[in-house]
Amino acid sequence: MDLPTYAELVAQRLHPYPYTERIANPGSGVDLLLTCKKAILARYALAVCSWQPNIDGSEFVKSKRREIARTLGALWTLREVGLYLVVCGAHADWECHVSQCPADRTGFHAVIVQAVHFVDPKNKTSSLNQSAWGPVKFGGVDSVADQLATILAD
């Protein structure tokens, strides 16, 4: 399965529930951007993008955070966004970078990366880094991860 097909399957599975809005033309490097609002200030997003093997893993996450912040107008303490980042690419390309791409442990960002989910749609492997405080996980990360696992299994 190629990236556009996988991104469309993700959109079909997660839009309009739990993500209520699909952003058209989300920006360079982002193939799919879904968003939702759960309360007055609580905003969440899911982004599907392709792995860029020519940059460091931590720099990759920082660049995606900046792109999503610009696209959604996210501001720290005022308009924060919880992001579930799905990174697609060949398992051999991203497997050694998984540890360099952790989810955020604090909320001190305009875009809080709640999960970084690496996926290889061709050979159906994945790896998930998610934020948690002990047993507590935020932003519906587990249910989204289950939905993405179902897409890979089909």
User: How confident is the model over 81-103, as a mean pLDDT?
Assistant: 91
| CA of residue 105 relative to chain centroid, distance | 15
Judged by average pLDDT, the poorest of 51-55, 112-116, 133-137, 149-153 is 133-137
Instruction: Please state, for a pLDDT cut of 90, what percent of the chain lies above it.
Output: 52
Strand residue runs (E) in 9-131: 21-22, 30-37, 43-50, 81-88, 111-120, 125-130
pTM for this entry? 0.91
* Spatial distance between the Cα atoms of 129 and 144, rounded to a whole number of angstroms: 13
3-state secondary structure of 26: coil
Contact 64, 56 (CB under 8 A): no
Contact 31, 3 (CB under 8 A): yes
